[in-house]
Structure 1
């Protein structure tokens, strides 16, 4: 996937409105999709207005530090952590952030755009 495709997904996967119940429904959709398609278990966190409104660590996943780092990366840059990763791979734009242990330059975090 290219940076442009990721940016397009960020635009397409936005919401006219979003609340705590919608977060629960979205989280459940993600869990169901992973289980139905036998994908790798993940940690899921949905944050709305600074509050964690959905969080689920699938079997075998422990701890939330990784989620904290992905969340901080998305909040700092307003883009998916995968977009930040691709940009860094191409241009070394976020090279200094690779040393920041509160951030993570890899895929997995996605902005909630309302």
Structure 2
């Protein structure tokens, strides 16, 4: 699974990302979750600046804590929180056993994906919390795919 996760990070990159993009991506994620009946919290940051945060019914402050812990993993390792956790599982261990980081501050569970600028690297994060970790990850990836596909279509038509 790790090569697939690495491929996602190579493919889901932005040429630019700003406040309006955070709003569009965040609202897309909220709409997707709402349509599917998912109680999730969505968070988007550019560096340390929180540009979007929304909690759907069924969430709690615990989801905010999970978001913070997942973001710390992405910032520290530069990869999605799911990829980081999976890389440890692929080696027959766990992040919690081998990373030597405080579990109350770091969670290598799926749902946080780096916002990567092509030619620059990670500049922010998009995070979902509220579903099983693979589902959190898949929801973020699907939203990024749809968002970037729409952006390419706009660029192609000159809109």
Normalising by structure 2, report the TM-score.
0.65
Deviations 1:16-75 (A, max 9, x none): 000011001000111111222x15321111110211111111111111111110110110
Whether the 8 Å contact between 1:97 and 1:105 is mirrored in structure 2 is: no
Whether the 8 Å contact between 1:45 and 1:54 is mirrored in structure 2 is: yes
1:1-114 to structure 2, matched below 5 A, reads 2-36=1-35, 38-63=36-61, 64-91=64-91, 92=93, 94=95, 95-97=97-99, 100=102, 101-114=104-117
Which runs of 5 or more structure 2 residues have no equivalent in the other structure? Answer: 118-159
Deviations 1:59-93 (A, max 9, x none): 11111111110110110001001101111111137
- What is the CA–CA distance in structure 2 between the aligned matches of 1:6 and 1:98, rounded to whole Å? 23
Give the number of the structure with larger relative contact order, counting CA–CA contacts within 8 Å between residues 6 or more apart.
Answer: 1
RMSD: 1.6
Which runs of 5 or more structure 1 residues have no equivalent in the other structure? Answer: none
- What is the CA–CA distance in structure 1 between the aligned matches of 2:40 and 2:10, rounded to whole Å? 24
Name which one, 1 or 2, has greater alpha-carbon Rg. Answer: 2
Q: How many residues align?
A: 112
Normalising by structure 1, report the TM-score.
0.89
